[in-house]
Amino acid sequence: MSEMTPHLCRASRALLGWSRQDLAEATRVSLPTVEAYEAADTHGCRWALEPLLMRTLKKAGIQIFMRDDWGGPGVRLQQLPDTFSNDLAAEAAE
């Protein structure tokens, strides 16, 4: 079972200050795909999309956890080097 859920995806975007469009561009999928996923209306494509979303969000500094000492599931933002945002923007532009 994947650790990613539509709720955790929205929470991750909120921590990063990303729009759905930002996530779509960073993940290299269409905006309607992200919108459908977050609306939990993805049916078969969900399993293919979740690993892509997780990799993108983890690379952006999101830690996804199902349970921890305070309960479960959730997301948190880890400390990133200052150059990270420039690196991600350059990679998304490729």
Q: Is the pLDDT of residue 30 over 90?
A: yes
pLDDT computed for residue 44 by the predictor: 57
pLDDT computed for residue 3 by the predictor: 79
Q: Is the pLDDT of residue 29 over 50?
A: yes
The residue type of 81 is: P
Give the pLDDT band (50/70/90) at residue 23: very high
CATH (domain of 70): 1.10.260.40
* Angle of helix 20-27 versus helix 6-16 axis, rounded to 10: 100
Q: What is the mean pLDDT of residues 36-49?
A: 74
The residue type of 43 is: H
pLDDT computed for residue 12 by the predictor: 95
**Structural domain includes residue 54:** yes
**Structural domain includes residue 72:** yes
**Structural domain includes residue 1:** no
